[in-house]
Amino acid sequence: MAKIKASYKVPILTGEIKIPKVVPGASAYEKMYPGIKEDMLAIGFPASLEDGWETKAVGIFKQLLTHNKALKTYMDICVRCGACTDKCQFFLGTADSNNMPVGRAELMRRVYRYYFTPAGSLFKGLADAEPFSEKMIKKWFTYYYQCSECRRCSYFCPYGIDTAVITMAAREIMDGIGIGQKYATEIIHKVFKIGNNLGIPPAALRNTLDDLEEEINEATGKDIKIPMDVEGAEVLLVPPSADFFAMPHMESLIGYAKVFYKAGISWTVSSYASEAGNFGMFIGSYKNTKEINKRIWDEARRLKVKRVVVGECGHAWRALYNFSNTMNGPFDFLDGKYKQPTHICDFTLGLIKDGVIKMDPSANDDKIVTFHDSCNVARASRMGDTKDGQLTIPRELIKACANHFFELRDGANKAQTYCCGAGGGILTDEVMNVRIAGSMPKMQVIKEVMDNKGVNFLALICAICKTQFTNMYPLYGFDKEMVGGVHQLVSSAIIL
């Protein structure tokens, strides 16, 4: 949990997003903790910078350029038109020019031009090219960890240049030479060792679930179970592990349990694949992403389920929806009737539409709800059958569960949504000022609907968004109870 410190720079909320005057290096002081030796080694990276690292870095860079079309084209074709310069929440919050998407990408392009273009190797400085140096790697480590890989810049770029691709490649190059980030590498290590990001062992997980079952029983008088490791269940539910432990995440888990109970569909969570999140993606490591992803499909096979449903988690949905089939598919051992995987919102809304479960939206009449589109859902994955299902399905579900719903301002919403400020593996306390700065644009538009519409509940479908806003709300002077999952609304509205 974040402690409120006097040193935090919390912007004043006016409901407006102003484009700041550029201050180069304004957020250079915010750095990640470096990766710990045992975590780095465990996930296949050197522990620290070794002699000859420059050559190694160039080698990895070259390999990425020849195996990743996006990286290769995005190194070449930027015209520095400036369309992206005022689009990144981290630039808007910090005013640091290296946090403008193009500024961030230029940190890599300078090195690219030096080693991989004739102009760069001939004219060096005149071609704005420079070799790998410790100074440059320090800049990379700072600014490629002030990016949440949210892809808002790509939406506005005339060529679709995706900074997430560039950030991931930069992190992959840095990891390859022993410059890792503690937060992500530690979490990936935990997933392999224990099964989830939070490092909850199976026995502890069962205990938590027992407590939760008791809690639900007290509140509803119903015998609602959260089964674990049940072979032959119809559905394997893979939530982000925060849903087991953190607040308000657990409210959503209760919501999922009620939906399965009322629909009469047998389900199970897994102690082996107890994590939907995939931090391998955050650090751009195909190998780690694939290995983490594989756990879920191995478990689906072992438990002989018919389908895999994914809980409320943004980047997990991207990794599962977009990459699963490529990395670990095809899923012909699962029931072909269903999409594999299915998003929990799609699943629940489907049951409501089919009349299997019923909602009483008046149960949420104390709440005036707004919805924050999570970047990895809105801009990186689809939900359901229609082109923009990821935008319509959560909204339809909220409207089925609550009578008072208001949209955030256009331009900060749907495909143009600002990131919560902590995605992409930067949800860690050592960069709290970056997180605060990055949350500013979204907080401004939330403040706007709070003032104009009396909104008192922010509905989310991402574990990182939930933690980030739960941390941010008190800093900006709001009650953190005003943040919660969409299935928290489902949980209160469902007629049992």
Partner 1 sequence: MIDLNFLSGVYVLLTYFAAAIFIIGVLIKIIVYAKTPMPVKIALTPAPQTKAGSVGRVASEILLFKSLFRANKPTWVAGYIFHVSFIILILLHFARHFIYHYHNGVVSLPSWYPLFVNAGIVFGILMFLSLFYLLFRRMIVDRVKIISIFSDYLILIILMMIAIAGLSMNFLISASALTKIDNRLDPFINGIATFHPINIPSNPYFLVHYSLILILVAYIPFSKVMHFVGVFFSPTRYMTDNPEEKRYYKPNAKDLSL
Site for partner 1 in 18-37 (CB under 8 A): 19, 21-22, 24
Query: Per CB under 8 A, which region of 112-120, 195-203, 231-239, 462-470 contacts partner 1?
Result: 112-120
User: Rule CB under 8 A: is residue 382 a binding residue for partner 1?
Assistant: yes
Query: Which of 111, 305, 391, 431 is the binder for partner 1 (CB under 8 A)?
Result: 391
CB-side neighbour CA atoms (13 Å) of 32? 27
The residue (of 52 and 82) whose beta carbon lies closer to partner 1 is: 82
Query: Which of 119, 219, 495, 496 is the binder for partner 1 (CB under 8 A)?
Result: 119
Number of CB atoms found within 10 A of residue 214's CB: 10
Please give the helix or strand (H or E) that residue 303 lies within, else none.
none
Please give the helix or strand (H or E) that residue 395 lies within, else none.
helix 389-401
Site residues (CB under 8 A) for partner 1, limited to 172-231: 172
Query: Which of 27, 94, 99, 154 is the binder for partner 1 (CB under 8 A)?
Result: 154
User: Rule CB under 8 A: is residue 115 a binding residue for partner 1?
Assistant: no
The residue (of 108 and 489) whose beta carbon lies closer to partner 1 is: 108
Shortest separation between residue 276's beta carbon and partner 1, angstroms: 16
User: Rule CB under 8 A: is residue 266 a binding residue for partner 1?
Assistant: no
Question: What letter does residue 423 receive in the DSSP assignment?
Answer: T
Give me Rg for the CA atoms of the chain.
22
Residue type, 213: E
User: Across-strand partners of 459?
Assistant: 371, 484
Quote the distance between the C-alpha of residue 29 and its chain's center.
24
Residue 72, Cβ density class (10 Å: 0-12 exposed, 13-18 middle, ≥19 buried): middle
* Two tokens, residue 114: 């030096």
The residue (of 44 and 232) whose beta carbon lies closer to partner 1 is: 44
**Does the CA dihedral 61-65-69-74 come out positive or negative?**
positive
The residue (of 3 and 21) whose beta carbon lies closer to partner 1 is: 21
- Residue reference for tokens 């007629």: 495
Q: Residues 424-463: x/- map of binding to partner 1 (CB under 8 A)?
A: ----------------------------------------
Residue 405, Cβ density class (10 Å: 0-12 exposed, 13-18 middle, ≥19 buried): buried
Quote the distance between the C-alpha of residue 493 and its chain's center.
27
**DSSP per-residue letters across 359-379:** B-GGGGTT--EEE---HHHHT
The residue (of 198 and 465) whose beta carbon lies closer to partner 1 is: 465
Q: Residues 226-265: x/- map of binding to partner 1 (CB under 8 A)?
A: ----------------------------------------
User: Rule CB under 8 A: is residue 97 a binding residue for partner 1?
Assistant: yes
Site residues (CB under 8 A) for partner 1, limited to 42-81: 63-74, 76-81
Query: Per CB under 8 A, which region of 2-10, 121-129, 241-249, 347-355 contacts partner 1?
Result: 121-129
Query: Which of 3, 135, 337, 387 is the binder for partner 1 (CB under 8 A)?
Result: 387
Shortest separation between residue 80's beta carbon and partner 1, angstroms: 5
Residue type, 50: E
User: Rule CB under 8 A: is residue 41 a binding residue for partner 1?
Assistant: no
Contact 239, 276 (CB under 8 A): yes
- Residue reference for tokens 């992190």: 171
Site residues (CB under 8 A) for partner 1, limited to 278-317: 281, 284-287, 289
Query: Per CB under 8 A, which region of 133-141, 384-392, 447-455, 459-467 contacts partner 1?
Result: 384-392
The residue (of 64 and 250) whose beta carbon lies closer to partner 1 is: 64
Residue 47: CB partners within 8 Å, gap ≥ 6? 35, 37, 40, 41, 178
Query: Which of 7, 29, 118, 355 is the binder for partner 1 (CB under 8 A)?
Result: 118
* Two tokens, residue 230: 């049940």
